Chain A
Amino acid sequence: KAGVTQTPRYLIKTRGQQVTLSCSPISGHRSVSWYQQTPGQGLQFLFEYFSETQRNKGNFPGRFSGRQFSNSRSEMNVSTLELGDSALYLCASSLNGGGGEQYFGPGTRLTVT
């Protein structure tokens, strides 16, 4: 099976712009979670989608949003970008969520200037 894929791999944006990142889970996996990874804060949970519904949400402002499509592919959107949004954004998929193994994608490196 193909692993989790993310596009694009690298992005450079300017403050105030918005960005959309995409994640394709492993075939058959229905749960997709998103994480922000920074050197200072480590891996922080953004949100989880399951069957096109947001099931869990981390402690991030409303500028961060996401959605999931019927084929389980997921997108996350960040509006009004700030310098502090520069990070590696990782998505992870699991079969059903809830105590199941998560598999990470390679990440999207976002740089905000």
Chain B
Amino acid sequence: GENVEQHPSTLSVQEGDSAVIKCTYSDSASNYFPWYKQELGKRPQLIIDIRSNVGEKKDQRIAVTLNKTAKHFSLHITETQPEDSAVYFCAAEGSNTGNQFYFGTGTSLTVIP
């Protein structure tokens, strides 16, 4: 099955700086890669996703890049704000029919005001 690794596990940045979280996956057949943000005590929320036919996708201060050859994808947050502090999870959809997602172990991001 798919194996997703995520780094770093914790990340502290100053407000206004950029944050980058990286994930690698093992199944070359995976073709959908969502990112979720989970604030303390709340449900994971989808913040951005990318499909394998796209190399980069942006949504305001958030961007995701995908390198299918190297089997890694990254989340970039620019101009970080204190409300960006949360745990971020990457995921890869397995190659089976239907939804079977494999999640990274999460990155706890702290934005220091």
Contact = CB atoms under 8 A, between A and B. Distances in A.
A complexed with B: yes
Interface residues of B, number: 27
Interface string B37-63: 000001111100101000000000000
A102 interface: yes
Interface of A is mostly: strand
A40 B32 CA distance: 25
Nearest to B100: A56
Most chain A CB within 10 A, of B91, B94, B101, is at B101
Nearest to A59: B1
B98 A102 contact: no
A97 B42 CA distance: 23
Interface of B: 1, 31-32, 34, 36, 42-46, 49, 51, 89, 91, 93-94, 96-106
